[in-house]
């Protein structure tokens, strides 16, 4: 059953409070709470996360503090906060800054890639040094044989990011799956739900259709599903957020669900917090809502 924003705000105020957001959308002054009452960091087994790209206009310390404010315990790291031109020791030190704040890095990206083994190997070494199981990436299709070799060598999953109608290689999850399915099982998808909808596909259906290779998610909302659909706080747009989370629970999805808020680069935290609170309200309302 679809839940309207009005119903969610009326019944899910407690969930919004957990995220540090009042019913009016203003920032609450109480200290941030854990992501769920069990302290496990998951809801229905889902790992809610922040894509640090949300804070790409801010330095790493601000990004870490922002993620802490959400109460979420996982991050997908963008290279602006952990650069590629670092030594293994520096990478581990920076990753430890997230961990010390109670945030576990579980993927990185979106990582641009070339059809060149030396540069591809550097991406895998970067993920290995941080201890990441997954790389969210945008490779050329012709690099697949090399990537097949490297996922076997490093035992690190690739989640190829679909980027909407502007992306001539991988606009939709189906375009990724069509290429990936011919290679090692560790090559799969990062479904960006906003770009998926702008490309004319249905994120709910694609979560179900391609679940066997779904390794990462970018969660957001859009004002409409035209190619130019603008970014919105989750719950203020037109996407079927409830349906997407029901689908993820149904497939027993184990990867990250990373909030990638892109509406306000200069001050993303309020919109991010509202988005997290809205999703918590959705998850509270789904049958069997005790966090696992």
> What is the helix (H) or strand (E) element at residue 18, kind and residue range?
helix 13-18
Token pair for 62: 């601000």
Specify the pTM.
0.87
pLDDT tens, position by position, 223-247: 999 999 999 999 999 999 999 999 9
Q: Say yes or no to pLDDT of 62 above 50.
A: yes
Q: What mean pLDDT do residues 53-60 have?
A: 97
pLDDT of 36: 52
In a domain, 272, yes or no: yes
Q: What mean pLDDT do residues 143-154 have?
A: 98
What distance in Å separates the CA atoms of residue 133 and residue 255, rounded to the nearest whole number?
A: 10
What distance in Å separates the CA atoms of residue 154 and residue 46, rounded to the nearest whole number?
A: 25
For the ranges 15-29, 156-170, 182-196, 250-264, which has the lowest average pLDDT?
A: 15-29
Beta-carbon contacts of residue 212 (< 8 Å; ≥ 6 apart): none
What distance in Å separates the CA atoms of residue 220 and residue 272, rounded to the nearest whole number?
A: 9
Rg (CA), the chain: 18
How many domains are there within the chain? Answer: 1
In a domain, 72, yes or no: yes
pLDDT above 90: percentage of residues in the chain? 82
What distance in Å separates the CA atoms of residue 49 and residue 172, rounded to the nearest whole number?
A: 22
Structural domain boundaries, residue 179:
42-285
In a domain, 28, yes or no: no
For the ranges 39-53, 183-197, 267-281, which has the lowest average pLDDT?
A: 39-53
- How far is CA 20 from each of CA 62, 68, 208, rounded to the nearest angstrom? 17, 11, 32
In a domain, 23, yes or no: no
In a domain, 4, yes or no: no
CATH code, domain carrying 183? 3.20.20.150
pLDDT tens, position by position, 4-56: 554 554 444 444 444 444 433 343 433 333 335 444 578 788 999 999 999 99
pLDDT tens, position by position, 70-104: 999 999 999 999 999 999 999 999 999 999 999 99
In a domain, 146, yes or no: yes
Exposure of 17 in the CB half-sphere (CA atoms within 13 A): 7
Token pair for 178: 């069509």
């Amino acid at each position: 059953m679809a839940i309207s924003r009005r119903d969610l705000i009326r019944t899910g105020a407690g969930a919004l409070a957990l995220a540090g957001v009042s019913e009016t959308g203003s920032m609450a002054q109480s200290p941030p709470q854990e992501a769920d009452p069990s302290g496990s960091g998951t809801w229905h087994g889902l790992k809610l996360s922040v894509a640090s790209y949300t804070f790409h206009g801010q330095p790493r310390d601000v990004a870490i503090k922002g993620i802490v404010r959400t109460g979420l315990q996982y991050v997908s790291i963008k290279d602006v906060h952990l650069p590629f031109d670092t030594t293994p020791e520096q990478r581990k030190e920076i990753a430890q800054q997230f961990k010390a704040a109670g945030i576990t890095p579980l993927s990185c990206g979106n990582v641009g890639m070339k059809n060149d083994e030396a540069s591809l190997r550097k991406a895998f070494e970067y993920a290995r040094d941080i201890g990441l199981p997954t790389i969210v990436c945008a490779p050329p299709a012709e690099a697949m044989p090399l990537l097949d070799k490297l996922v076997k060598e490093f035992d690190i999953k690739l989640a190829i990011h679909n980027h909407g109608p502007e992306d001539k290689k991988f606009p939709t999850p189906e375009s990724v799956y069509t290429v990936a399915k011919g290679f090692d099982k560790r090559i799969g998808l990062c479904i960006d739900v906003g770009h998926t909808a702008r490309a004319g596909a249905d994120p709910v259906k694609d979560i179900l259709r391609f679940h066997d290779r779904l390794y990462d998610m970018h969660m957001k909302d859009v004002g409409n599903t035209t190619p130019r659909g603008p970014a919105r706080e989750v719950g203020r747009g037109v996407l079927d957020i409830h349906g997407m989370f029901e689908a993820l629970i149904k497939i027993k999805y184990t990867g990250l669900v990373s909030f990638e808020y892109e509406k306000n680069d200069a001050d993303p935290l309020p919109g991010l917090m509202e988005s997290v609170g809205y999703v918590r309200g959705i998850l509270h309302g789904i049958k069997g809502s005790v966090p696992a």
